[in-house]
Amino acid sequence: MGTRQIEFQIAADPPPRLDKALSRDVPADENLSRTRLTRLIENGEVTIDGVEVRDPKAKVTEGASVSISVAEAEESHIGPEDIPLNVVYEDADLIVINKPAGIVVHPAPGSPNGTLVNALLHHCGKDLSGVGGVKRPGIVHRIDKETSGLLVVAKSDAAHHGLAAQFEAHSVERYYRAICYGVPDANDPRLRGIKGVSFEPGNIMRLTTQLTRHKNDRQKQAVLFHGGRHAVTRARLVETFGNPAGIALIECWLETGRTHQIRVHMAHAGHGLVGDPVYGGKRKLAAKAFSAAAAEAVRSFPRQALHAAVLGFEHPVTGENLRFEADLPNDMEFLIEQLRAPLT
Residues carrying an active site annotation:
144
Distance of CA 64 to the CA centre of its chain: 39
**Residue 165's CB: how many other CB atoms inside 10 A?**
14
Alpha helices, H only, the chain: 18-25, 34-42, 116-124, 157-168, 189-192, 261-268, 292-299, 330-340
Q: What is the rounded CA–CA span in Å between residue 64 and residue 48?
A: 6
Element (H, E) at 107: none
Instruction: Output b/e per residue, 288-306; b: 16+ Cβ within 10 A.
Output: ebbbeebbebbeebebbbb
Distance of CA 100 to the CA centre of its chain: 15
Residue (of 124, 95, 120) closest to 105 by Cα position: 120
**Residue 74's CB: how many other CB atoms inside 10 A?**
12
Q: What is the rounded CA–CA span in Å between residue 130 and residue 144?
A: 25
Strands 197-200 and 134-135: unpaired
Amino acid sitting at position 318: T
Q: What is the rounded CA–CA span in Å between residue 286 and residue 12?
A: 70
